[in-house]
């Protein structure tokens, strides 16, 4: 009978300390889903073909507009892309019994909404800023992301919100402190990450681990960039707020890693701290003789080596 928590490593350890034959071990691999059967391969091929086909169709539509732009009149440009958006939405209702086709259709419609706004801006030369474009794109596709059980569409919505905030700060508020943009993005992605962690407790939706890892990586990147900016620019008034929030998030990430025995955060958080420490040393110990460069090289090599050794030992302890 299939049991939860059985992994390839667990079965290998059992085989080493028992008289299981190779055929019996292989049957256990198939029973617990470690070896893919024909049904799993068929499902994988179906998902791959639908996803790749939709991506090629959307890419072909966008390149069609780009290549034949000067040959199309305004009426044809606008109506063609609008018809494609409507057709994608209608297909999601037609194939509502097939969740994969429905969600891929909504994904295609969401991408085509961006193409529609782009075509409209090119025709009428609205002169809108970049953040207006991404804001409109986000508003008109966010409802599909909320009602769909499709993580790639969630990721697209998060990316669009990030781009909207980033371009808004760059174009409308360039006089703000340089780390403000990364502080806002850090807070936004942290809230999204917390929401994804709590979502299974309030609904039946399951957030895949790859999406959580991508959002976590973006949070660490924004923390690292903001910390580096604060190190090299010491005139920021609220720098301690950034470092306090960063310390809190890093502490929670490490706690979650040990609680659920996951090495992902234990890899990216120490690497971020190594980068921050190197920048702090560079700023506070200005040395033009080359000694500082040698010291930083030794520090990076030693710290990465020690980190890799600790993670390998920890992984062995958790899995064995």
Q: Give the Cα-Cα-Cα angle 212, 239, 229 (nearest 5 degrees).
A: 70
d(CA 189, CA 166): 13
* Residue 262 buriedness (CB in 10 A; 0-12 / 13-18 / 19+): middle
Quick one: pLDDT at residue 50? 73
Question: Of 57, 28, 33, 55, whose CA–CA distance to 43 is shortest?
Answer: 33
Q: Which positions of the chain have pLDDT values less than 70?
A: 1-18, 20-26, 28-37, 65-72, 124-128, 234-238, 287-290, 320
Quick one: pLDDT at residue 8? 63
Quick one: pLDDT at residue 2? 47
d(CA 182, CA 213): 19
Quick one: pLDDT at residue 12? 67
Q: Give the Cα-Cα-Cα angle 55, 58, 63 (nearest 5 degrees).
A: 120
Quick one: pLDDT at residue 283? 82
**Distance between first and last Cα of the chain:** 22
d(CA 131, CA 164): 5
E strand residue ranges, the chain: none
Quick one: pLDDT at residue 162? 94
Quick one: pLDDT at residue 222? 92
d(CA 143, CA 109): 12
d(CA 314, CA 43): 35
pTM of the full structure: 0.79
Question: Of 297, 311, 210, 300, whose CA–CA distance to 261 is shortest?
Answer: 311
């Amino acid at each position: 009978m299939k049991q939860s928590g059985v992994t390839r490593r667990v079965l290998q350890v059992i085989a080493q300390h028992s008289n299981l034959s190779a055929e019996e071990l292989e049957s256990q691999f198939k029973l617990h889903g470690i070896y893919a059967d024909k049904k799993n391969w068929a499902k994988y091929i179906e998902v791959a073909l639908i996803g790749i086909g939709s991506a090629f169709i959307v890419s072909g539509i966008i390149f069609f507009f780009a290549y034949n732009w000067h040959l199309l009149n305004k009426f044809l440009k606008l109506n063609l892309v609008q018809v494609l958006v409507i057709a994608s939405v209608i297909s999601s209702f037609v194939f509502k019994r097939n969740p994969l086709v429905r969600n891929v259709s909504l994904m295609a419609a969401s991408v085509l909404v961006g193409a529609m706004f782009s075509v409209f801006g090119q025709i009428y030369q609205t002169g809108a800023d970049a953040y207006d474009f991404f804001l409109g794109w986000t508003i008109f596709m966010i409802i599909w992301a909320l009602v769909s059980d499709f993580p790639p569409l969630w990721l697209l919505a998060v990316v669009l919100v990030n781009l909207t905030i980033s371009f808004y700060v760059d174009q409308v508020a360039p006089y703000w402190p340089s780390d403000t943009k990364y502080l806002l993005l850090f807070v936004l992605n942290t809230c999204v990450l917390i929401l994804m962690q709590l979502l299974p407790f309030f609904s039946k939706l399951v957030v895949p681990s790859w999406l959580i890892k991508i959002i976590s990586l973006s949070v660490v990147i924004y923390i690292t960039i903001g910390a580096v900016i604060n190190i090299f620019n010491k005139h920021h008034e609220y720098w301690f707020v950034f470092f306090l929030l960063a310390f809190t998030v890093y502490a929670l990430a490490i706690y979650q890693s040990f609680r659920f025995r996951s090495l992902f955060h234990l890899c990216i958080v120490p690497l971020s701290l190594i980068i921050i420490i190197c920048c702090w040393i560079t700023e506070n110990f200005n040395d033009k003789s080359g000694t500082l460069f040698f010291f930083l090289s030794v520090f990076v090599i030693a710290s990465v080596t020690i980190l890799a050794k600790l993670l390998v030992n920890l992984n062995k302890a958790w899995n064995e």
